[in-house]
Structure 1
Amino acid sequence: MSSLTVLDLSRNNIGGIIPLRLGNCVALEALDSSKNRLSGGIPRSLGLLRRLQTMQLSNNSLSGEVPSSLKKCTSLETLNLGQNNFSGHIPTWIGKSFPASRILSLRANMFTGNIPPQLLNLTSLQVLDVGQNCLSGLIPQRFENLIAMKNERKISRFFYDGKSGLYYKENLLVFVKGQMLEYTRTISLVTCMDLSSNNLSGEIPEGLTSLLGLRILNLSRNHLTGKIPDKISKLALLESLDFSKNQLSGTIPQSMSNLTFLSHLNLSNNDLFGRIPSGNQLQTLEDPSIYIGNSGLCGPPLTDKCFNDETSQCPMPARGDIEKDEEEYEMLWFYSSTGLGFVTGFWAFCGVLILKKSWRIVYYHYFDDVKDRLYYNWCHFTGCWIEEVSKKFRS
């Protein structure tokens, strides 16, 4: 069938090997044999499919290495070999031979060696999934060529027939938010980098934070060290972030609270320490399992209080206690001010008498005069005038 453009045999129970003569279908644009029981390797004859844009062979029992003959399929946009038993190194020629590549999924195989830096030359690449392999070494550093991951770009591959309409729709399985999800209609929204469950080491490259269109980032289950990049907040579209089960150290950047689309976060089982950032989106992520396995972390949602957390050492008093304290404070202030006023007035008066002799004499004469007047009035009302009269008569 030299005019066949789409061959979709997915989701069946087909066993055996991929036929060699499939290479005769030179007009083929989409080959989907995923979710079957196919075994053996990829025949070299598939390199004759120069028009092939989608190759979906995931979820089978295929093995061996990726044949170099596929480098002739220069129109390939989607290569999905996930969930098989492929081995050997990831071919470096993928980064040069598939310039239009949008989706590269090699998940759950037995690939070894390093992640080829050449993969970062794929300017249209929007999904890179090499999780669950045996890859080692450092994460490549240069991400400036991953233009599609830097922008919110729509990707979707449909094949139409002019008469019957849509008859093939691309799909993709992505491990996100702790589970495997299948994307079909919303595949255009997927921008993913998954390097999880390997033996990668070293630090998280700072260049990762330049992939502004990234929505899913999974580096879990490796041997990564160092700190979480401070510029992680630049990945403003991130919906799922997983750095769990590494040896990351340092504090969690406060800027992470600015990831307003983040709905799944996992930083468990590292060597992180310090107060867990709060505010904005992180306030909605209240599951303590996000941070477990980091003995140095403290603060909500964990039960461990931070050493300098004043709120944990000085609990907020009840409203009744506050009102009682305020009343006692007002009474104390009243009596203190009254006493202070009395002392000030008393010593102001006495100080004048001590310093001014003339004032002191006048003051004392005044009191003598007052005393005499009081004595006279007292005597007048008590009959003292009788004694005065008798004295006059005696005289």
Structure 2
Amino acid sequence: MATSYWLPTVNMLTSLVELHLPSCRLPMLPLTLPSINFTSLLVLDLSKNKFTSTIPPWLFNLTELEMLDLTDNNLTGKLLDSLGYLKSLRYLDLSYNSFQDSIPKSIGNLTSLEEFDLAWNQMSGIILESLGELSSLTDLTTVALNNARISDTIPDWFLQLDLQLDYLDISYNQLSGTLLSLKILSLRSNSFTGSTPLQLCGLSALHILDFPHNNLFGNIPHCIGNLSSLKSEFTNNDTEVYGHEGRLEVVSKGRVLEYDSILYLVNSIDLSDNNLSGEMPVGITSLIKLGTLNLSMNHLTGNIPANMGNLGLVEILDLSMNKLLGSIPQSMVSATFLNHLNLSYNNLSWKIATGNQFQTFVDPSIYEGNASLSGCLLPIGCQDNKEAPQIPSGDGGEDDDSKLEKLQFIISMVIGFWGVFGTFAVKRF
């Protein structure tokens, strides 16, 4: 009954090219996907409503569709083989629904497909083998499968797929197997094992490397400094290179932030909570475009690279819970954008660096767990330092010249006193 208020009118528009009804949620809108009869439609956007049905058969008659957006509904059931009839699709967004089971192999018929988003569904069980059909789609640039409850092993075809994609997000699943490399790669919170692949170093456009909460072991590749997109200053040309890359959740300062239209501005390496060992590669200090570097909760040893201050744009630096040795490089005071620092629970020693941003890092938890570390945390005092802080000249302290003048004054007073007293004593005798 509800559909009678609006669909007959819509279906009379036989030449309609685009239909956008996102976030309607009007009383006249039915809870099931309405029947749309015209086949000239190029764009259909029914996102952010409350549809609860399965995908109806009539949808597969819209063979001219180039964009289909059904995101953020309550759609259920399987994705039917009929999906392959929509051969003109370039953009397919089915995220934030309750689709189940696998993906039909007919998806390989969508030869024009550029972006495919199935995030936040319930695709439990084996799914990736059927997705192998995507490897033949040469125009495909974006695949989002994060939070889709996928439990599977990464198949061999993924090694081919990553050469075509600009963006892949399969984070927050139960994936296992060996690793692959990509320009933008998020494999957060899975069960990947093995070492970080050297192939990553050859990805000239990589600007987000997101591998936390896995079981990676071995050294961080020394060639990580070859990531050319993180070695140059940001320019306006970057907006043309990257453009819109999809949506990605990035953990920053313990908070989960979602980026979409400004994703190309995010420059991050997060390898935290793995089993990485060895020293921090010196080449990492050449990645001057980095905004976030998180290597916490690993087994890294050796010194913090002396030139860490080269990371002049880094805002978040977390090296906590490792086995790092030596002093905090004084060069780090040059990182004037730094606003979140954590060096706790290492084996650092000597004094805390001073100057610039370090004057604002007064929270002792930043440095706790380093038994041999000492230095001034606050402008008015020092922690674990037996020597009182020196007060610089001009702020009430005394330099060598003032001390010499005072000594000369005291000597002259003594000589004058004995001169007068001595003369008086001689006359008396």
Q: TM-score with structure 2 length normalisation?
A: 0.64
Query: C-alpha deviations, 1:271-294, integer Å up to 9, x for none?
Result: 222211010122222222222222
CA distance in structure 2 between the aligned counterparts of 1:121 and 1:5, rounded to whole angstroms? 34
Question: How far apart are residue 254 of structure 1 and its match?
Answer: 1.0
Aligned length: 331
Question: How far apart are residue 41 of structure 1 and its match?
Answer: 5.2
Does the CA contact (< 8 Å) of 1:106 and 1:130 recur in 2?
Answer: yes
> Is residue 139 from structure 1 mapped to residue 220 from structure 2 by the alignment?
yes
Corresponding position of 2:165: 98
Corresponding position of 2:322: 246
Does the CA contact (< 8 Å) of 2:142 and 2:246 recur in 1?
Answer: no
**1:93/1:211 CA distance change after superposition, 3 Å:** farther
Give structure 2 stretches of 5+ with no counterpart: 1-61, 168-181, 397-402, 425-429
Corresponding position of 1:309: 387
**How well do the aligned residues superpose, as a CA RMSD in angstroms?**
4.0
Give the counterpart of 1:54 among 90, 115, 119. Answer: 115
**1:235/1:51 CA distance change after superposition, 3 Å:** farther
Corresponding position of 1:356: none
Corresponding position of 1:188: 264
CA distance in structure 1 between the aligned counterparts of 2:281 and 2:320, rounded to whole angstroms? 16
Question: How far apart are residue 329 of structure 1 and its match?
Answer: 6.9
Alignment of 1:114-129 (within 5 A): 114-129=195-210
Does the CA contact (< 8 Å) of 2:166 and 2:184 recur in 1?
Answer: no
Does the CA contact (< 8 Å) of 2:225 and 2:284 recur in 1?
Answer: no
More helix by share: 1
What letter is aligned with 1:183? Y
Question: How far apart are residue 218 of structure 1 and its match?
Answer: 1.4
CA distance in structure 1 between the aligned counterparts of 2:95 and 2:159, rounded to whole angstroms? 24
Give structure 1 stretches of 5+ with no counterpart: 159-168, 320-324, 347-395
> Is residue 32 from structure 1 mapped to residue 93 from structure 2 by the alignment?
yes
Q: What is the identity percentage for the equivalent residue pairs of Structure 1 and Structure 2?
A: 40
Does the CA contact (< 8 Å) of 1:92 and 1:118 recur in 2?
Answer: no
Does the CA contact (< 8 Å) of 2:142 and 2:165 recur in 1?
Answer: no
CA distance in structure 1 between the aligned counterparts of 2:101 and 2:423, rounded to whole angstroms? 108
Question: How far apart are residue 126 of structure 1 and its match?
Answer: 1.9
CA distance in structure 1 between the aligned counterparts of 2:218 and 2:85, rounded to whole angstroms? 40
Does the CA contact (< 8 Å) of 1:110 and 1:133 recur in 2?
Answer: yes
CA distance in structure 2 between the aligned counterparts of 1:19 and 1:270, rounded to whole angstroms? 54
Alignment of 1:165-184 (within 5 A): 170-184=246-260
Corresponding position of 1:290: 366
CA distance in structure 2 between the aligned counterparts of 1:3 and 1:117, rounded to whole angstroms? 43
Corresponding position of 2:341: 265
Does the CA contact (< 8 Å) of 1:77 and 1:103 recur in 2?
Answer: no
CA distance in structure 2 between the aligned counterparts of 1:17 and 1:244, rounded to whole angstroms? 45
Does the CA contact (< 8 Å) of 1:190 and 1:215 recur in 2?
Answer: yes
**1:13/1:292 CA distance change after superposition, 3 Å:** farther
CA distance in structure 2 between the aligned counterparts of 1:42 and 1:184, rounded to whole angstroms? 25
**1:48/1:299 CA distance change after superposition, 3 Å:** farther
CA distance in structure 1 between the aligned counterparts of 2:104 and 2:386, rounded to whole angstroms? 65
**1:103/1:311 CA distance change after superposition, 3 Å:** same
Name the larger-Rg structure: 1
Question: How far apart are residue 117 of structure 1 and its match?
Answer: 2.2
Corresponding position of 1:235: 311
Question: How far apart are residue 243 of structure 1 and its match?
Answer: 1.4
Corresponding position of 2:3: none
